[in-house]
Amino acid sequence: MNPSEWFTEQAAGAGSAFSLKIKRKLHEEQSDFQYLEIYETETFGNLMVIDGCTMVSTRDNFFYHEMMSHPALYTHPNPKNVWIIGGGDCGTLREVLKHPSVEHAVQIDIDERVTRLAEIYFPELCESNNDPRADLKFIDGIKWVKDAAPNSVDIIIVDSTDPIGPAEGLFGVDFYRDCFNCLTENGLLVQQSESALLHLNLIKEMRDAMSSAGLSHTQTLFFPQCIYPSGWWSATIASKNALSAFREHDAKNKPFNTVYYNADIHNASLAQPEFFKQAFNSAK
């Protein structure tokens, strides 16, 4: 396909690719950390690409942002303090701040340029950036967690790129051990965990590393994500103590609007296909 008319991301090792027909390139730059591109597409609105990989589109971002935030927040009994590691497009921050119980949400992304471009090309994702409960920091998230005081945060959301480049250290046992130390008693870590179809070994490695760090209670949930490899994505929740019960009544009566997430979707996302159960010998 003509690269002037189509953006294509190849899935290395999977023998597949995903393409979107584009109208024009809106922006490109090399930041201090990564190569950033913004396209206007014909059917998916604007598209952000980082280092050649699709990150967020106007049309389908709600799948990811809602599922990275609401399942964890409705599993924790009373989430007040939330950190988002990464998440520079600010969509996850917007969803987190829909919860009235949240008193403070800190977004820590190493690359400020991602946020500044999102403010221009995805303003709807940034509508809560000036919420008095929001605190945007453009620093190293790994160092932030390492230096944090013990028992200082209820939920850590790792909204990162793939485990390469600046995000590579977010998938290791040392990082998970630091998360364990700064989580409160009922604290949860939730991290995007790629595609179960294409990256099952990565999910195994993540869950093993989480367990080694003391986050032995893990739960992987699944959701569609059109622009990511395979179109089927996952997030993994881990806790330092037994996972609290899903606050289903609260989810059914949520005081805010969503596009995809609701209590039924929450329950359905936890259903595990046979190959996944067999890979882990049991459904956790």
Q: In Å, how far are 8, 11, 13, 123, 278 from 155, measured between CA atoms?
A: 35, 31, 34, 25, 29
Q: In Å, how far are 43, 112, 222 from 175, measured between CA atoms?
A: 38, 22, 23
CA–CA separation, 129 and 95 (whole Å):
11
Q: Which of 251, 168, 263, 182 is nearest to 215 (CA)?
A: 182
51 carries an active-site annotation: no
Q: At what angle do helices 200-212 and 173-182 cross, to 10 degrees?
A: 50
Q: Using only C-alpha atoms, what is the Rg of the chain?
A: 18
Which candidate in 89, 109, 159, 178 is catalytic? 159
DSSP 244: P
Catalytic center residues: 159
